[in-house]
């Protein structure tokens, strides 16, 4: 491995950037649902979640709180676990590709595949956090 790449991968700043980028879909969504609270409530109602206000609040707390824990590398397992569970739950609620046909089914399946990859990334950040805190693997 080139030395410059090794230095980059060993950099605490690069690790922080990676955690910020990994959690971007969550904290961006949590901020959007906070800023446009009524829009977030409408989204929850659209997906049949009742009471929608409570679901919007819970979603904001999960997305922002989980992201913060991962970004700060504190209780990373808890933040990543909450975000992974949230992501897994969105599959049958918002991306049920098996209930639609044609292009819509294909689009929803693509979202599911991306969600599964994101869950894998959250698993990895938890593993790496544990190894870092233990002094290496």
137 band by pLDDT with thresholds 50, 70 and 90: very low
What tens digit of pLDDT does each residue of 107-128 get?
999 999 999 999 999 999 999 9
Q: Convert the pLDDT of each residue in 45-87 to its tens digit.
A: 999 999 999 999 999 999 999 999 999 999 999 999 999 999 9
Q: In the structure encoding, which two tokens stand for residue 81, read together?
A: 């676990």
Question: Taking the chain, what is the end-to-end CA distance rounded to the nearest angstrom?
Answer: 19
Split at pLDDT 50, 70, 90, the class of 17 is: very high
The band of 41, judged by pLDDT with boundaries at 50, 70 and 90, is very high
- Which are the contacts of 4, defined by CB distance < 8 A and separation ≥ 6? none
Give 98's DSSP letter: G
Domains contained in the chain, number: 1
> Are the CB atoms for 29 and 60 separated by under 8 Å?
no
Please give the residue range of the domain that contains residue 92: 3-134
Task: Yes or no: say if 70 and 123 are a contact pair by the CB < 8 Å rule.
Answer: no
Whether pTM > 0.85 for this model: the answer is: yes
Which tokens go with 24? 């971007």
Angle between helices 76-94 and 52-72 (to 10 degrees): 140
If you search the block for the tokens 């009524």, which residue do you land on? 38
């Amino acid at each position: 491995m080139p030395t410059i790449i090794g230095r980059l991968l060993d950099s605490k700043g690069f690790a922080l950037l990676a955690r910020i980028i990994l959690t971007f879909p969550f904290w961006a969504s949590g901020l959007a649902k906070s800023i446009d609270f009524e829009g977030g409530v409408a989204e929850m109602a659209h997906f049949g979640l009742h009471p929608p206000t409570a679901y919007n609040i819970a979603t904001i707390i999960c997305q922002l709180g989980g992201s913060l824990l991962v970004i700060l590398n504190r209780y990373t397992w808890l933040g990543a676990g909450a975000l992974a569970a949230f992501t897994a739950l969105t599959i049958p609620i918002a991306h049920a590709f098996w209930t639609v046909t044609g292009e819509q089914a294909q689009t929803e399946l693509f979202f599911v595949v991306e969600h599964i990859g994101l869950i894998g990334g959250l698993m990895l950040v938890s593993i790496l956090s544990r190894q870092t805190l233990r002094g290496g693997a």
